[in-house]
Amino acid sequence: MERSIIFFDLWDAVMRSCAYVALATSIALIVYYEIKVSRIKDLKEKYDYINLHEIRYFWSAIVMLIIASGLFVNSIGTITIARDSMLWFYVRIFATVSLSIIAYFVFFGMIRVYYPGNVEKRLQRLRETPRISPSGNVMRKLSEAEEDAHLDPGQIEDEAIHSIDYDVWIDDETGFPRIEKY
């Protein structure tokens, strides 16, 4: 009996420690991503970085949170469960793994279906934020009709077939144009 109590104490300690590590990893992923995004000054570069990486970082953080939850739940009341029957110890492991898998698929659906809409709103706000020209002036975004004067024929053709959209910003004081490809 003494040997099993030592095992269950060790089990609880390892499960909780791993849960804390997984939770810390989840938080670190989000903090790292937000710091990385905040350090990007150019709005187009920020747009591209968010477009490529936000959902992946957020999903990784959610997976680590699911793992942390499963490990923590698997460390609650181990000695009480083991005292009744060792079978309940294995049942709890099975139930925890099963619930973690269910949580994985529930969050997978939510993040892959609903979260991209939130990201798209954030990207649209970035795309519409006025740009600053090299001379420090606020630039104006041209309408679709106005921007054709600043695009070459290949770019106009790309827009016509809807494969690429170009935003043209112009500094009204200096005439400096900035063309961004989306």
What does the pLDDT read at residue 97?
Answer: 93
What does the pLDDT read at residue 131?
Answer: 92
**Coil/strand/helix, residue 171:** coil
What does the pLDDT read at residue 80?
Answer: 72
Q: Looking at residues 7-13, what average pLDDT do you find?
A: 84
Helix (H) or strand (E) holding 32: helix 2-39
Spans of all domains in the chain: 2-124, 131-181
Instruction: Give me 126's structure tokens.
Output: 């970035």
Q: Is the pLDDT of residue 52 over 60?
A: yes
Q: Which residues contact 36 (CB under 8 A, 6 or more apart)?
A: 49
Summarised one tens digit per residue, pLDDT across range 78-127 is 777 767 677 778 888 899 999 999 999 999 988 888 889 999 999 999 99
